[in-house]
Amino acid sequence: MIKPIKTKKDYNTALARVYKLMQKELKAGSSLADELEVLPILVEAYEMPINKAYKP
């Protein structure tokens, strides 16, 4: 399930999930392929310096 990354734990979980998905051969257009497309965007947004001021 895709959800916002709000904490360091969420971040680490998302990174692990991206790694796990990258190890698989995913069919284009599948829900897992879509998840792999979206999760890195969320990870990158969390990593952006401007967001560090708003993290709990």
Beta-carbon neighbour count of residue 39 at 10 Å? Answer: 18
Cα separation of 14 and 42, whole Å? 8
What's the confidence (pLDDT) of residue 51? 58
What's the confidence (pLDDT) of residue 52? 61
4-50: pLDDT as tens digits: 999 999 999 999 999 999 999 999 999 999 999 999 999 999 988 76
- Quote the pTM value: 0.80
What's the confidence (pLDDT) of residue 2? 87
Cα separation of 33 and 15, whole Å? 15
What's the confidence (pLDDT) of residue 53? 60
Domain regions of the chain by residue span: 8-52
